[in-house]
Structure 1
Amino acid sequence: MARSDVLFRQEFYKANSKRGKPTRIVARLWKALEEMGYRINKYGHHMVDDDTEYYKLYDDLIVPQYSTIRKGNNFKEGAMVTFRIWTRKPRESYQFFISPDDIKLHATLPINLENHTVTLNGQVLLPFWMADMAKMEGYSTVEEFWDWYMTPIKGQLLIFHPEKAEQYKKMFG
């Protein structure tokens, strides 16, 4: 099976209230992958030095990210993916691998984000599930989640944590 790349930004968008500040995406993904049993090499490249230091200092405070939301319908459940970051501006710079191995997508669910409402596989998320999904996405609060997802998105929720995937497939599958 072919491998797909999932790309992440290291800085918040220009339109975001935190524009230009680091997203800490690398640290959030590393935290999740370590919890899942992957070995992570956090050293050796200047592109992740800032996240490496952050990880060492604030390990207990990092909210792990077990999923990601992507526009379109490009991924299949069971597919293998690797995580990469843009080294500078998206589509104008090279990419850097931040995951050690191919990561299995345990669930891919249709998602629609619009007007501060999330519809997952046709069902509107109630406040409890909204808070859970915001945390699964690596955000401390629902407000942080909506600060990132300011524009409408129709796409897929990709879940790479096996237990979270089962939980969401059972509720929304």
Structure 2
Amino acid sequence: MEESSSALEIAGKVTGSGHVTGGKLNVTAVPVKLASGGSSVNLNSGTLAIKYYSNTVQYDNIYAGILTNGIYTNLTSAMTAAKAAGWISQNPVTENNPNATKAIIYFGVNRNNNAILDQGEHATIAIAYANNERPQALDTIKAEVIVPTGSPLTIERLIPNITTSVVDLG
């Protein structure tokens, strides 16, 4: 029974950082938490994979790693730390887009400063898009978070018109 239920669930609004004049997304942020009654989940890159699909690309695993060295209150600071860790070449919020599409995970609430998501903790999956792979209006993006136990978490969104730098993806 435990293997058939999802270990993770979306914990709020999925948002993106948009480039208004270009009409494209630079990065997407998906808040996640443990499913109700679920067991802790190891978020290390050796135990978790993130598949990504869009209208133009398909990747089996874009997961670069998890930031466990603190709490990040916003996407900009998390992307700065991911760049410092060498996981992305550019901060897509404040600079140009990175040279490869990558996903990182960072914590908003982490009670024990490890890479395991426990009850009461909140993490965010951030997908930074390579310049030539950025989704635009009416594109569909889909990510599957494959965890060690339980069903994968599937996130699918239709990109609206990019009219502001913060894009609500529902």
Same fold (TM over 0.5): no
Q: Which has the higher contact order (CA 8 A, sep 6+)?
A: 2
TM-score (structure 1 length as normaliser): 0.26
**Higher share in strand:** 2
TM-score (structure 2 length as normaliser): 0.26
